[in-house]
Structure 1
Amino acid sequence: MQNFNHLITTRPHEVRQVLISDLHLSPEEPALVQAFLALLDDCLALPELKCLFILGDWFEVWLGDDFYLSLSDEERQIHWLTPLIVKLKRLRVAGCEILVMHGNRDFLLGQPFCNLFGGELIYEPYTLTVGQQNYRLEHGDALCIDDKKYQFFRKIMRNRLTQWYLLNKSLEKRLAIADNMRQKSQQNNANKAAYIMDVNESAVIQAVKDSDALLHGHTHRPDIHPISNDKIRYVLGDWRLLNSGTRQPKVSAVIGAVTANVGEDIIADSAEFGLFEFKILV
């Protein structure tokens, strides 16, 4: 695993796509918000960047697009989401696509919010072609089939009728429901064995059978895992605040990047995917 910052300083023309996951942004964690803004600044400095993927759990909780869209102009001016939208719009105007996938925390995120910065909501599984290989992209929670309680909950929450029901509740009611679900999730996870909250090997093999590689987040266990038949599973990392409470707090994440030689397209043989460590002082 390499350092992402050297791509910015020594190989900026080679970066074609950036892939991130599990930022869990919220107003309660301003350092993570600042780190994301710093990454967007890095992306704006990459002259050949074609796409930014956000593969789920962009936000710690998402109560519905109307949470932001219903705000007045004055309220938006001071809202913590507005600087993100402004910078994402700059990135889109610069020619970089912004593709957003649902996670288990922000499954109520909709296309209307993405329209604010010219983004596109995508659905799993999503196929990304890198060189001559097809990468299957997903958030990763659907692979954790040993956690049967969660999978039952996921099935209910991803149902359109359930989402319609939630979105027709007041924002206050939705906030109370979200807080209650988060507390129950924390209690349940505290009593679960570690393997239950990780991906299931058979689920991984099934998911990657028609692809050359699998890329996901969710588990907060960044790594590169070989799979049978020369296939690979890449796991993106969550965004973590290090040295909290010190004079120089730092945010660290493991992200993905597609690189290609200058003048080559991402579908050329020379295109490669790799995991990189992104660190920023906040």
Structure 2
Amino acid sequence: MELQAHSHWRTVDVISDIHLHPSEPLTHAAWERYLQHCRADALFILGDLFEVWVGDDVLDTVDGFENQCANSLRVLSQRTAVYLMHGNRDFLMGPRLAHACGATLIQDPCTLQLGRQRLVLSHGDALCLDDTDYQQFRATVRTDTWQHAFLARPLPERQAIAREIRQRSETAKSSQREYADADTEETLRWLHNVQAQTLIHGHTHQPATHALPGGLERWVLSDWHLDGAARRAEVLRLQCTPETGAVAIRRLAPDASEITCC
């Protein structure tokens, strides 16, 4: 998928792995504050906006947490173009949610032409080839057959399955297990295929900027987690200079203060 930035875009924000969930009130509050103060021309959310998404029919609960989050994004969409990408936790997000958010669903990967720079945007999970168990799981759950069968189950049953999966995930986190990283050869293939200079992704929870051969680069987004001892959250801001078409990339805290650690 390729997307041409609108000519008036000067500031583009990119975030990922917010993992919104009622059990993470500080993270949710920080996200709400960011949306209220965001003045970017476009916002790209590269997957895992929600900790889990079991189907758009969760929006049937009008006063539920998910509707609250969708309404906040809809308010932002009145002044900022909002784009949503599936992650490994919320790959069942569908058109009803996108409409409720005032957002556009985009494919993974997506090539963005901003000024004279071409960037590849991705959640990042498809690049973690060393995580073979996950790649097998991903190949299964991304099929129409699996998704139709899962969504045909009653909502309470799907929510119970999601709680069980989340519990296993939390147990894995406490074991200090390291996330697999993006495969360099596959990353270069992606960039070369679309003649892009920069890959931006999340998923790994290992924020860093990696220099790649040929002057290419890979920017890894932080996840958002403000309810634990290790508090973290960031926005990647792309600033396009109209006179030259050059794009500068900065890491910011959600309150727009600079992040210099990565």
- TM class by smaller structure: 0.7 to 0.9
Deviation (angstroms), 1:191: 7.4
Q: Structure 2 vs 1, CA of residues 186 and 154 (structure 1 numbering), >3 Å: closer, same or farther? A: farther
For 1:233, which of 189, 210, 218 is the aligned residue? 218
Q: Tell me what 2:260 maps to.
A: none
After superposition, the C-alpha distances for 1:218-253 in whole angstroms (9 at most, x for unaligned) are 000111000000000000100021665xxxxx9531
Q: Tell me what 1:270 maps to.
A: 246
Asked whether the 8 Å contact 2:13–2:238 carries over to 1, the reply is yes
1:254 and 2:234 matched: yes
Deviates most, 58-67 or 129-138: 129-138
1:199 and 2:190 matched: no
Task: Give 3-state SS (helix, strand or coil) of 1:106's partner.
Answer: coil
1:179 and 2:175 matched: no
How high is the sequence identity, in percent, across the aligned residues?
A: 34
Task: Give 3-state SS (helix, strand or coil) of 1:52's partner.
Answer: strand
Deviation (angstroms), 1:271: 3.2
2:187 is aligned with what amino acid? V
Deviates most, 136-145 or 196-205: 196-205
CA RMSD after TM alignment:
2.6
Deviation (angstroms), 1:98: 0.7
For 1:61, which of 52, 55, 60 is the aligned residue? 52
For 2:203, which of 201, 214, 218 is the aligned residue? 218
Deviation (angstroms), 1:275: 2.5
2:215 is aligned with what amino acid? D
Asked whether the 8 Å contact 1:130–1:272 carries over to 2, the reply is no
Provide the rounded CA distance (Å) in 2 between the counterparts of 1:60 and 1:154.
16
Provide the rounded CA distance (Å) in 2 between the counterparts of 1:60 and 1:139.
14
Gaps of 5+ in 1: 1-13, 245-249
Q: Structure 2 vs 1, CA of residues 190 and 85 (structure 1 numbering), >3 Å: closer, same or farther? A: closer
Provide the rounded CA distance (Å) in 1 between the counterparts of 2:255 and 2:81.
23
Deviation (angstroms), 1:254: 2.3
**TM-score scaled to structure 2, two decimals?**
0.85
Deviation (angstroms), 1:181: 3.1
Asked whether the 8 Å contact 1:114–1:120 carries over to 2, the reply is yes
1:88 is aligned with what amino acid? L
Provide the rounded CA distance (Å) in 2 between the counterparts of 1:189 and 1:80.
24
2:98 is aligned with what amino acid? C
2:43 is aligned with what amino acid? L
If you compute each CA radius of gyration, which structure gives the higher value, 1 or 2?
Answer: 1
Q: Structure 2 vs 1, CA of residues 273 and 40 (structure 1 numbering), >3 Å: closer, same or farther? A: same
* Structure 1 residues 70-219: aligned runs within 5 Å: 70-71=60-61, 76=62, 78-94=63-79, 96-185=80-169, 194=178, 197-210=180-193, 211-219=196-204
2:204 is aligned with what amino acid? T
Task: Give 3-state SS (helix, strand or coil) of 2:23's partner.
Answer: coil
Deviates most, 199-208 or 268-277: 268-277
Provide the rounded CA distance (Å) in 2 between the counterparts of 1:15 and 1:253.
23
Asked whether the 8 Å contact 2:11–2:238 carries over to 1, the reply is yes
Gaps of 5+ in 2: 1-8, 257-262
Asked whether the 8 Å contact 2:202–2:221 carries over to 1, the reply is yes
After superposition, the C-alpha distances for 1:20-39 in whole angstroms (9 at most, x for unaligned) are 00000001111111111111
Asked whether the 8 Å contact 2:27–2:227 carries over to 1, the reply is no
